[in-house]
Amino acid sequence: MQMSLKLPSFLRRKKGEAVSEVEKPEVKVESEFPKIAGAELKKHVGKHVAVVEGKIAASAGTARRALTMAKRKHSGKEITLRYVGSERLLIPCRCLSKTKT
């Protein structure tokens, strides 16, 4: 037995009607991370940090929590989120070693 699904009339297109293109929102992607001192980064290894004006404003286990903490302190300013990983997260690769094989 086949079951047919009827769409509501406001979702149906009329014959000959063109399909309209939906505009996608512009996404801002930064290729460079803000420069932060190495000593300051060592305190936040394995955490998400929110950076405001080149300084760490908040750090937390999740990006959402870091963002909400930073918004409370620095509302209206541009906030950049970043994850501070440890060297243990990097995958060793022979292609980056200096010795010839």
DSSP annotation of 77: S
Tell me the pLDDT tens digit for each residue of 63-89: 999 999 999 999 888 888 888 887 666
Taking only the tens place, the pLDDT of each residue in 9-67 is 767 777 777 766 767 767 666 556 667 777 777 888 889 999 888 889 999 999 999 99
- Give residue limits of the domains in the chain: 40-86
**Which contiguous run of DSSP H or E holds residue 50?**
strand 47-52
pTM over 0.75: no
